[in-house]
Amino acid sequence: MVMADTNTAPETFDELAALLRSRMPQLTRSQQLLAERVLADPEGVAFMTVTELARSVGINESTVVRFATSLGLDGYPGLARLCRERLREQAQLLRRFANVESLTAQARDPLELAVAFDQANIARSIARVDRPAWDQTVGVLATATRVHLLGLRKCFPVMHLFGYLLGLVREEVRVLGAAHGVLTDELRRVQQGDCFVAASIHRYSADTVRAFEWAARRGATTVALTDNPASPLAGSATHAFYLDTTGVSVLRSMTAFVTFVQAMATSVAAARGTEARSALLVEEELLDTFGVYYAPNRDR
């Protein structure tokens, strides 16, 4: 099947990504593999020849050319051009870290390697944040009736931290999935007017994907924190943020996710203004009353 060219050709990579996600259910399996590769690795596609891209996906070159043309692009050169423009948009921040792998190739200290990769992860992630989407997400998190946060397995600590930080400055924040077997019970509370934030990275948790789709159908504003536009969360997201997870050896780093949620929570606190300050004052009073923190001179 070849997609009919019924839309204006995309002029930016973001427009291309939105078009691919909207058409994904109608694509053949070969086209889906190609679309997923473009969404997940625009940096790699930017400098591949049509032969190299076809070989990497396991399809023939003519399929690649027809695919690009069906998007309204000038064949494969048009597709590669949008991917290269995506790189140029991020160039200012990425330039410092473009050669991080080669710079650390001689290093044997895992700590030095981890620092180098995490610096790159944070810079790349910040570079691709869509600022209007960021501002809208902050607004929703500040004003939604309830905020539901879900991240399973490796993503759970990130969302637990996010829930703790948001809970300091607003009411009705819940981290889901902490207890085994109760996720479906927790999802019953999701309603229109709520905000549902989910985090998942490859290989994506099936429960997270299903819960995110459920929240979207219920009318909640859905925010995805994930690793690339081919993520199954992207299709159900009101707003999606793509964060790098490159780590040392086989380990994947969540440092960029932690940086993101801390910055987001700070922005939400600023957006709530006096309400956030009042909540923090109550929190401090409670901490002092209950002697939560160690104080050497406190009466025993």
Can you spell out the DSSP letters for 109-147? -HHHHHHHHHHHHHHHHHHT--HHHHHHHHHHHHH-S-E
Assess whether pLDDT exceeds 80 at residue 7.
no
Q: How open is the CA angle 145-151-154, to the nearest 5 degrees?
A: 160
Distances (CA, A) of 154 to 39, 117, 200, 203, 243: 23, 18, 8, 11, 14
> For 74, what's the count of Cα atoms within 13 Å in the CB-facing half-sphere?
6
More confident residue, 102 or 216: 216
Section 214-239 average pLDDT: 93
Listed as own residue / partner, the contacts of 134-138 with beta carbons closer than 8 Å and 24 or more positions apart are 134/241, 134/264, 134/267, 136/239, 137/223, 137/239, 137/241, 137/264, 138/264, 138/267, 138/268, 138/271
Separation between Cα atoms, residue 8 and residue 221, nearest integer Å: 28
pLDDT-derived band at 249, boundaries 50, 70, 90: low
**pLDDT number for residue 226:** 94
Separation between Cα atoms, residue 248 and residue 258, nearest integer Å: 17
- State residue 224 phi and psi, 5-degree precision: -105, 130
pLDDT-derived band at 250, boundaries 50, 70, 90: low
In terms of pTM, does the model score above 0.95?
A: no
Q: Residue 87: CB partners within 8 Å, gap ≥ 6? A: 42, 43, 46, 94
> At residue 269, what is the residue type?
A
Q: Domain limits of the chain?
A: 13-89, 92-126, 130-288
Assess whether pLDDT exceeds 90 at residue 266.
yes
Residue 218 per-residue DSSP state: T
Element (H, E) at 257: helix 255-272
pLDDT-derived band at 1, boundaries 50, 70, 90: very low
**pLDDT number for residue 39:** 85
Section 206-235 average pLDDT: 93
Section 23-30 average pLDDT: 89
Of the listed ranges 40-44, 139-143, 179-183, 296-300, the one predicted with least confidence = 296-300
Q: Give the tens place of pLDDT for each residue, 138-189.
A: 999 999 999 999 999 999 999 999 999 999 999 999 999 888 778 989 999 9
> At residue 107, what is the residue type?
A
Residues 35-73, buried b or exposed e (16+ Cβ, 10 A)? bbbbbbbbeebbebebeebbeebebeeebbbebbbbbbb
Architecture of domain 130-288: 3-Layer(aba) Sandwich (3.40)
Q: Give the tens place of pLDDT for each residue, 78-96.
A: 998 888 887 665 554 444 4
Q: What is the mean pLDDT of the chain?
A: 85
Residues in the chain: 300
**pLDDT number for residue 286:** 80
Q: How open is the CA angle 71-74-79, to the nearest 5 degrees?
A: 65
13-89: which CATH topology?
Answer: Arc Repressor Mutant, subunit A (1.10.10)
- State residue 154 phi and psi, 5-degree precision: -65, -25
Structure tokens at 28: 């053949």
Assess whether pLDDT exceeds 80 at residue 107.
no
